[in-house]
């Protein structure tokens, strides 16, 4: 009997063969934290250990409230900055043009490597599975404990195999595929599980699209989500690697799965997750015409160059009908989009382009909603109150659909906007 990705990746870390449901203690290859580094450092100090176990394994990227929208946020940033300096920890990404959203910067900087174990004090840490990394979100206390001990316990998860064949149609994106999957699996359908994406449909996808898929693993309850570490991944990480101790690992053909599902990407249509749950799926045709007050294009889910290109493809030469906030997921992406004219196209359409960071995704700043307002967003969560007021409404959709909807002020099938 062969192993699943999770069994093999955790097994590599402990040096023996593992099977689902065993409990193991592993040493993480990297520990990612963001603005919560300040509070974590306070908890760390309570433990009574002076130094973190390995300062080179800490990666801190400020993104949740940047630049600081309040003095409370500024204090968090200050604590993070001081802690990293005290610890002599080199991998600190401050509020500069070298930063961005943590889940974008982490792979850009070469920390997401095949076969490695990454823990992050953010639920969307599962994004790094796009690079064949076993990456999972944890809480603040666990991060403080991991810094002190260099160890964390895991139950080896059971696995779910999602196979995709074929290619997505024009105006349809990886987001539409994963919204459909989330609607089928439901928000707890993969609870505690490792979600593996297989098939030529995944091989056909870009790194950016695979990041969108893995990013939303947590919204099905998954411990981690992962795509095969193929040539596209190896090409991406070449020259960026921040560690030499990595190895492409993938599930064996005879691995045992708790659940298997298969999709033909030709069948996927533009979709949305309606308020207020991520699994409240509808084909866009079912909600077409719903009035919106704001559109948001960005985040670790869909703030990459391809996403901005998709939005610009729709909005070039048009004007937006509702306020539209665009936030590139990193400053590298910002610069590329500036150079290739994408930002000009979006600005010409009337969008505002904000500095790279999490923006309004978690309701902190830069585009929060008023009571009764509706927003169509490329982000990953549409929970009640997520973007500000508990009486506002969030529809999750692809960059194509958000841009097409921004142009009309109502939810719009992007295929109409590109003349299909």
Residues in touch with another protein (CB under 8 A) = 23, 35-36, 39, 43, 46-49, 64-65, 70, 72-73, 75-76, 121-123, 137-142, 144-145, 148-149, 153, 187-188, 191-192, 218-219, 221, 223, 277, 362-364, 368, 381, 383-386, 388, 390
Instruction: Closer to another protein by CB, 155 or 170: give it.
Output: 155
Torsion of CA 24, 148, 194, 15, to 10 degrees: -40
- Supply the minimum distance, in Å, between the C-beta of residue 267 and another protein: 27
- Supply the minimum distance, in Å, between the C-beta of residue 388 and another protein: 7
Instruction: Closer to another protein by CB, 192 or 257: give it.
Output: 192
Instruction: Closer to another protein by CB, 47 or 370: give it.
Output: 47
- Supply the minimum distance, in Å, between the C-beta of residue 193 and another protein: 9
- Supply the minimum distance, in Å, between the C-beta of residue 418 and another protein: 33
Secondary structure letter of residue 267 according to DSSP: G
Instruction: Closer to another protein by CB, 25 or 243: give it.
Output: 25
**In angstroms, rounded to a whole number, what is the distance separating the alpha carbons of residues 155 and 164?**
27
- Supply the minimum distance, in Å, between the C-beta of residue 280 and another protein: 10
Instruction: Closer to another protein by CB, 302 or 392: give it.
Output: 392
- Supply the minimum distance, in Å, between the C-beta of residue 33 and another protein: 11
Q: What is the radius of gyration, based on Cα positions, of the chain?
A: 20
Residue 419's CB is within 10 A of a number of other CB atoms, namely: 7
Nearest in space to 364 (alpha carbons), one of 333, 394, 380, 385 = 385
Instruction: Closer to another protein by CB, 65 or 201: give it.
Output: 65
Torsion of CA 395, 400, 405, 406, to 10 degrees: 100
Q: What is the DSSP string of 170-214?
A: TT--HHHHHHHHHHHH-TTTTTTPEEEEESHHHHTS-HHHHHHHH
Instruction: Closer to another protein by CB, 40 or 346: give it.
Output: 40
**In angstroms, rounded to a whole number, what is the distance separating the alpha carbons of residues 217 and 193?**
9
- Supply the minimum distance, in Å, between the C-beta of residue 291 and another protein: 23
Nearest in space to 175 (alpha carbons), one of 281, 98, 72, 49 = 281
Instruction: Closer to another protein by CB, 59 or 233: give it.
Output: 59
**In angstroms, rounded to a whole number, what is the distance separating the alpha carbons of residues 324 and 312?**
12
Secondary structure letter of residue 260 according to DSSP: E
Instruction: Closer to another protein by CB, 1 or 23: give it.
Output: 23
- Supply the minimum distance, in Å, between the C-beta of residue 419 and another protein: 38
In the chain, % helix, strand, coil (3-state, to 5) comes to 40, 20, 45
Nearest in space to 113 (alpha carbons), one of 9, 220, 252 = 9
**In angstroms, rounded to a whole number, what is the distance separating the alpha carbons of residues 375 and 361?**
11
- Supply the minimum distance, in Å, between the C-beta of residue 38 and another protein: 9
């Amino acid at each position: 009997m062969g192993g699943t990705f999770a069994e093999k990746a955790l097994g590599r870390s402990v040096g023996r063969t593992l099977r689902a449901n065993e409990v193991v203690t592993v040493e993480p290859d990297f520990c990612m934290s963001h603005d919560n580094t300040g509070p974590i450092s306070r908890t760390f100090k309570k433990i009574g250990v002076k130094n973190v176990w390995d300062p080179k394994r800490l990666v801190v990227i400020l993104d949740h409230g940047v630049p600081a929208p309040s003095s409370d946020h500024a204090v968090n940033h200050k604590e993070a900055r001081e802690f990293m300096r005290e610890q002599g920890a080199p991998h600190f990404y401050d509020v500069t043009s070298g930063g961005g959203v943590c889940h974008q910067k982490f792979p850009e900087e070469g920390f997401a490597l095949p076969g490695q174990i990454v823990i992050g004090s953010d639920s969307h840490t599962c994004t790094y599975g796009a690079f064949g990394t076993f990456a999972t979100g944890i809480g603040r206390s666990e991060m403080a404990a991991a810094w002190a001990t260099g160890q964390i316990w895991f139950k080896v998860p059971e696995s779910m195999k999602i196979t995709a064949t074929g290619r997505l149609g024009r105006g349809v994106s990886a987001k539409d595929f994963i919204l459909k999957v989330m609607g089928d699996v439901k928000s707890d359908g993969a609870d505690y599980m490792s979600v593996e994406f297989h098939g030529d449909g995944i091989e056909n996808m870009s790194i950016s699209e695979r990041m969108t898929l893995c990013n939303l693993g947590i919204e099905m309850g998954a411990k981690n989500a992962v795509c095969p570490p193929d040539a596209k991944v190896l090409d991406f990480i070449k020259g960026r690697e921040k560690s030499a101790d990595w190895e492409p690992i993938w599930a064996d053909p005879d691995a045992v799965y708790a659940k298997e599902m298969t999709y033909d990407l030709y069948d996927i249509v533009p979709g949305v997750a309606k308020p207020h749950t991520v699994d409240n799926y509808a084909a866009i045709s079912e909600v077409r015409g719903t009035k919106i007050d704001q559109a948001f294009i960005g985040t670790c889910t869909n703030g990459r160059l391809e996403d901005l290109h998709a939005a610009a493809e729709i909005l070039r030469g048009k004007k937006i009908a509702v306020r539209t906030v665009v936030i590139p997921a990193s400053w590298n992406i910002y610069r590329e989009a500036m150079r290739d004219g994408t930002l000009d196209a979006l600005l010409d359409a009337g969008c505002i382009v904000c500095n790279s960071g999490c923006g309004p995704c978690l309701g902190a700043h830069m585009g929060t909603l008023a009571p009764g307002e509706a927003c169509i967003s490329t982000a990953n969560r549409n929970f009640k109150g997520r973007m500000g007021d508990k009486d506002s409404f969030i529809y999750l959709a692809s960059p194509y659909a958000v841009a097409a909807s921004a142009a009309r002020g109502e939810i719009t099938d992007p295929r109409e906007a590109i003349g299909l």
